[in-house]
Structure 1
Amino acid sequence: MNILFVHQNFPGQYRELFQWLVAQGGHQIVFLTQRKGLPEAKGARIVVYKTHHKPAEDAYAPTKYWEECVGNGLGAAFAAERLAAEGFRPDVIIGHVGWGELTFLKQVWADVPIIGFYEYYFLAQGGSVGFDPEFPASEHARFMMHARNAVNFANLHSVDLGQSPTLFQRDTYPEAFRSKIYVEHDGIRTDKLRPRAEASVPLTRLGRAVTRDDEIFTYMARNMEPTRGFHKFMRALPRILEARPNARALIIGGNEVSYGKASGAKGGYRAEMERELGDGLDWSRVHFLGKVPYAAYREIIQVSRCHVYLTVPFVLSWSSMEAMSMGAVIVGSDTPPVREVMTHGETAMLVDFHDHEALARQVIEVLEAPGDFAHLGRNARAHMVERYDFTTRCLPVHLEKINGLVPRGKAIALPR
């Protein structure tokens, strides 16, 4: 089969599916992306495209995002035309809707089916905007959010089939979209993401490595920001560290912003929280590790006695499910996307996102009596294996959907 993947940040949500298809051999696979400097992928071709246009910083705010998406869409379409001129014709196109890259591909290959990844419909109510009263929505938020959905509407009929990884994400979309979107997660490699008793993490400040014998609790987000409850976690730290004098917090994440409004302070939200907490926190036991390699991230979660995952109603992080696969005992936010995957008292302990005192109490309980909560980690891993394992659960569904759009002779064999 000839397969064209499209995602501006290779490989994005297609990491596992792309790798699996390449490993099978026999397919002609092209991945169209904006990401530069990638090594050659054996068994596939990576093609870098340039956006055709970027809006000016002072562009009209309601249409600025659409302008950016059109630039991406045209850049991807022109690259697709060059591929077509070389003789490449995909049997199926698989790509992300959200950055506009799929918008014009039907103008290149009118009858080639497209499967679009529908990640999130921008909501003025019921989503991330205005959920935390500390960060109220602006008076124009309802207009700005709806304007950002222009790319979703532009692709409603360009895409033949949609995919959302969770019901929460699918249900952010209006009814007109939902009948086209199937719900299946990208998939978790539970065979590779396991508990590991011998895991260790070197801490320079401590002068040694920490292991499961140490009292470690963890927090992770792509970036330390309010959407992922960073401020709530930080405000829980003084009480946790005071109650547990041997505990250490290991924090993974960058100091930028992935979602929502950036901090107006120099040094970002981390600097804001450092100033707010001041001397009321034992900073010697707080370890900011930054963005770490994937292998190091696994070891950090594997030594953790308690992993904290917080999010407003928004896209669920891969890391939360990967932590479940590794048997982590999770204290999470009691918000809709988390409740879809974690069950309070069975696979995690869930607390009110807004109540950092409740968060602190729950983390302290887990650290004090890890044996009383160990079943949560075992159950979490079992749930990931049964419902979200890439090879046995998610991959067959994705292949079935792909095969349903192509002639029978082009179908991809399902894994045993």
Structure 2
Amino acid sequence: MKLLFVHQNMPGQYREFVQWLADTNDHDIIFLTQRKKPPVMKGVRTVIYQPHHRAADDAYELVKTWENAAGSGFGCAMAAQTLRDKEGWIPDIIIGHVGWGELTFMKEILPDVPVIGFFEYYYSVTGGPVGFEPSSPPSAHSPFIMQAHNTVPDVNIDRVELAQCPTEWQKNRFPARFHDKMYVCHDGIRTDKLLPDPDVQLGLGRLDRPLTRADEIVTFVSRNLETTRGFHQFMRALPDILAARPQARVLVVGGNDTSYGGKSKHPSGLRGQMEAEVGDRVDWSRVHFLGQVPYESYQKLIQISRCHIYLTMPFVLSWSLLESMSMQATVVASDVAPVQEAITHGETGLLVDFFDPAALAAQVVDVLARPDAYAHIGPNARAHVVKTYDFLTVCLPEHLRQINALVPADKAIALPA
């Protein structure tokens, strides 16, 4: 089969799926992306395209999202047209993320090719991160800006045959008129690779020996240290955690930029702001900020953790939560709707009020002090992720079934044995 994948930041949500397809050696795969230095994926041909237009920094806010989306969509369509006209390459199916407008004009170039779009998020001033924190209420203009962002999914639902949504919570963010085209299936977690390791060791530069599972390790992981992912609440819990557990060490992974939501006005970013807020109430010799680390190091960090903290406002669920559960971490997480879909309190994880750092600290301290009382959490978490989110046995077969329903029978992809 000829498959065209589209994502501005290749591979995005298609990391496992594209590589599995390529490894079968049965398919002709092209990936369209804006990423200047995309990863090399064996068996996948990468085509880099440029947006035809970008909105000016001072563009009118209510049309800026659509202006950028239209520019990306037209640039992407022109790249597909070049493949069609110069090489005669026409895919059997197109699979891509709709969020940046890249699929918007594909039907003008390839009208008979079915499209599966990844629909990630629908904006509003209720139920999500906007307006969630009382200290940061939405502005008078926020409802208009949120609705302007929704122009892209509103247009693209009519440009696809199917819409993939990774969780029920995300699906339910979209209006009911979207739902008939939607199927819910996560990207998939490689539980066969993300395993616990009782013998894991992790070296840190300022320590004279590697850390092991015998150490009292607390972990916090986010792409960037930001309010949407609760970094500020995590930092407010640190003084109580470290005071109660004098042997504990805290390992923090994440960059100092902002992926979602507003940026801190502090000159050193949110990390600097929170370090100043908690000040000398924290024993900084036991807190290790590791920045953004290689994937192998991240795995070891989770495998070594006695208590892993995952905080988020109501927003798209991080891969790191499910990956941590797959590695049998004892997770203390924020008690918000998207997390509740993955964690049952007391069974597959522990849920705390996002706005209560004292409760967060108390729960983490109890996990550190009484690990045997929580020994069931990690194995239960892994069993749940294997059953619900495993890539090879759950998510991959479902994605293949959805693709096969849109293509001729002689093009169907065989389900894994």
TM-score with structure 1 setting the length? 0.99
Distance 1:21 1:189 in 2: 15
Q: Given the alignment of the two structures, is residue 16 of structure 1 paired with residue 49 of structure 2, yes or no?
A: no
Q: 1:292 matched to which residue of 2?
A: 293
Q: 2:53 matched to which residue of 1?
A: 53
Distance 1:26 1:273 in 2: 52
Q: Given the alignment of the two structures, is residue 189 of structure 1 paired with residue 197 of structure 2, yes or no?
A: no
Q: 2:226 matched to which residue of 1?
A: 225
Matches within 5 A, 1:150-229: 150-229=151-230
Task: Count the aligned residue pairs.
Answer: 416
Q: 1:77 matched to which residue of 2?
A: 77
Q: 1:66 matched to which residue of 2?
A: 66
Q: 1:121 matched to which residue of 2?
A: 122
Q: C-alpha offsets along residues 302-335 of structure 1, whole Å, 9 cap, x if unaligned?
A: 0000000011110000000000000000000000
Structure 2 stretches lacking a partner, 5+ long: none
Distance 1:199 1:31 in 2: 36
Please say if residues 224 and 255 of structure 1, whose CA atoms lie closer than 8 Å, have aligned partners that are also in contact: yes
Matches within 5 A, 1:16-415: 16-38=16-38, 40-85=40-85, 86-415=87-416
Other structure's SS at 2:95 match: strand
Distance 1:267 1:309 in 2: 23
Distance 1:379 1:40 in 2: 36
Please say if residues 124 and 146 of structure 1, whose CA atoms lie closer than 8 Å, have aligned partners that are also in contact: no
Shift of 1:204: 1.2
Please say if residues 19 and 41 of structure 2, whose CA atoms lie closer than 8 Å, have aligned partners that are also in contact: no
Other structure's SS at 1:217 match: strand
Structure 1 stretches lacking a partner, 5+ long: none
Q: C-alpha offsets along residues 195-250 of structure 1, whole Å, 9 cap, x if unaligned?
A: 00111211112232111111001001110001000000000000000000000110
Which shows bigger deviation, 64-73 or 100-109?
64-73
Please say if residues 218 and 308 of structure 1, whose CA atoms lie closer than 8 Å, have aligned partners that are also in contact: yes
Please say if residues 241 and 247 of structure 1, whose CA atoms lie closer than 8 Å, have aligned partners that are also in contact: yes
Distance 1:288 1:351 in 2: 24
1:135 is aligned with what amino acid? S
Shift of 1:39: 5.2
Shift of 1:37: 2.2
1:94 is aligned with what amino acid? I
Shift of 1:405: 0.3
Other structure's SS at 2:254 match: strand
Distance 1:347 1:43 in 2: 38
2:315 is aligned with what amino acid? F
Distance 2:41 2:230 in 1: 37
Distance 2:79 2:196 in 1: 43
Shift of 1:413: 0.3
Shift of 1:41: 3.0
Shift of 1:40: 4.2
Identity of aligned residues (%): 58
Distance 1:52 1:267 in 2: 35
Other structure's SS at 2:47 match: strand
Shift of 1:62: 1.2
Change (3 A) 1:239 1:40: closer
Distance 1:235 1:38 in 2: 38
Distance 1:39 1:17 in 2: 15
TM-score with structure 2 setting the length? 0.99
Distance 1:16 1:327 in 2: 21
Distance 2:223 2:136 in 1: 20
Other structure's SS at 1:81 match: helix
1:129 is aligned with what amino acid? V
Shift of 1:288: 0.4
Tell me how large the CA RMSD over aligned residues is: 0.8
Q: C-alpha offsets along residues 58-93 of structure 1, whole Å, 9 cap, x if unaligned?
A: 110111111111111111011111111111100000
